[in-house]
Structure 1
Amino acid sequence: MTQASKPWLSSAGPGSDDKRHAPATRRNRDAILAVLRDVLPPSGLVLEVASGSGEHAVAFARALPGLTWQPSDPDPDALASIAAWQEEAKLPNLRQPILLDATGDTWPVASADAILCINMVHISQWEATVGLFVQSAKLLQKGAPLILYGPYFRKGYPTAPSNLAFDESLRARNAQWGIRSLENVSELARSTGFVLATVHDMPANNLTLSFRPM
């Protein structure tokens, strides 16, 4: 069983070849970057899991030149898009994308100083989130962050109608998808050796979560 692809990626336009565009990227990248400046180390390797179009990788590598960015995805079309954006950007700290399925028993990376995963947890089966934590525990040293971004349900917090509608649409598309509860993800984190370090409220009813190995 493989991690989900991203069928809503659209072409970046005529003449763009393999480049794809994720509309949400332009809306959320600055808010995510503001959090990343606080939680990422000043230098080292950031492994981005499920990089999608590759636009986030370019934006963050350009804004954080002290870090080396390693994008990845399980989907061939996404990998081609990431490579096309990477080739256009020509950033010295942005690596070629690698094939990585979060559900895989082994990942093609020996270690990382941080791991970032944007908008995967709700558009993939739960096994992908389990794999993300299990494999991240092998790659990260104590204190190194695992950062997730996306929508989550939280006990004691009112759920936005837009998130309820989004969850319903996801489950209609694939019964294994859907917005997860922060409590369930935090319990998985604890079971794999992580502690929830920070929760940042983000625009459009999203959260950025940072976990660190205990």
Structure 2
Amino acid sequence: MTESFSKPFSQACENNKAPILAVLNRTFANCKGVLEVGSGTGQHAVYFAENLPHLQWYCSDQPDYHEGIIAWLEEASLPNVTKPVALTIGKDSFPSLPIQGIYSANTAHIMQRHEAELLMKSVSEYLPSGGVFCQYGPFTIGGEFSSESNRVFHESLIERGYGGYRDISELTAWSNDLVLREIHKMPANNLLLEWHKP
């Protein structure tokens, strides 16, 4: 890692990490390993690994993001978080890891519809029985947006070529063996969906 490389930074990650951790403290209490799908900047990985020392946090993302993630990991130097593996939905298979939990934040609305469907089906197949999937981000419920700003953001995503918000009914239909046990309301009109595999 060159000294001139500046770590990527997301203000949204800074704003939402504590409210998300409050949920993960409970949902991942019995997990020994968690795979993060779409580690992004690496901020969540470092924060959650530091505050959930009982588990091993496995990072993954598209290769273009790896340098930034590694910069965060090297600075934090934590024993329970691993360098990212390449994972592009629709291209790579989920890595073979000893995990009981999966976490993903702000990925479904960036993906195309078929990719979001594949994500849900892959998580359902990959997660072991008794496992939990925590999915954070903006979603619609019954086709309804939780705020006008969410509707505007959804439309801007579509205009820029992204898939846009997914409705919880879609995710449920694609989730196969997963059961949506709880919908946690989060700041900034986001939700954390708590899925369990019986």
TM-score tier after normalising by the smaller chain length? over 0.9
1:127 aligned partner: 114
Equivalent AA in structure 2 for residue 84 of structure 1:
A
TM-score normalised according to structure 1 size: 0.85
1:201 aligns with 2:185: yes
The verdict on how the C-alpha distance between 1:158 and 1:104 changes in structure 2, with shifts beyond 3 A counting, is: closer
SS at match of 1:134: helix
User: 1:179 offset after TM fit, Å?
Assistant: 0.8
**Alignment-derived partner of residue 167 in structure 2:** 181
Structure 2 counterpart of 1:85, one-letter code: W
Could you list the per-position Cα deviations for residues 79-138 of structure 1 after superposition, in whole angstroms to 9, with x for gaps in the alignment?
110111000100000111111112236222244210001000001112222222222233
SS in 2 for 1:121: coil
State the aligned residue count.
Answer: 196
4+ runs deviating over 6 angstroms:
none
**Equivalence for 2:51:** 63
Deviation, structure 1 residue 157 = 6.0
Cα-to-partner distance string for 1:48-99 (whole Å, 9 max, x where unaligned):
00110000000000000001000110142x1110111000100000111111
Identity %: 36
Within 5 A, what are the aligned runs for 1:45-60? 45-60=33-48
Matches within 5 A, 1:89-128: 89-104=76-91, 106-128=93-115
Tell me the C-alpha RMSD between the 2 structures: 1.7
Q: Secondary structure at the match of 2:194?
A: strand
TM-score (norm 2): 0.92
Within the alignment, does 1:88 sit opposite 2:75 as a pair?
yes
Residue by residue over 1:120-164, the C-alpha shift from the partner in whole angstroms, topping out at 9 and shown as x without a partner, is 000111222222222223322222101100011112866300100
Alignment correspondent of 1:167: 154
Could you tell me whether the CA contact under 8 Å between 1:72 and 1:97 is conserved in 2? yes
Give CA deviations for 1:152-198 in whole Å, capped at 9, x if unaligned.
11128663001001001100101x41011111111111xx2111111
In the alignment, the residues of structure 1 paired with residue 133 and residue 140 of structure 2 have an alpha-carbon distance, to the nearest angstrom, of 19
Structure 2 match to 1:7: none
SS in 2 for 1:48: strand
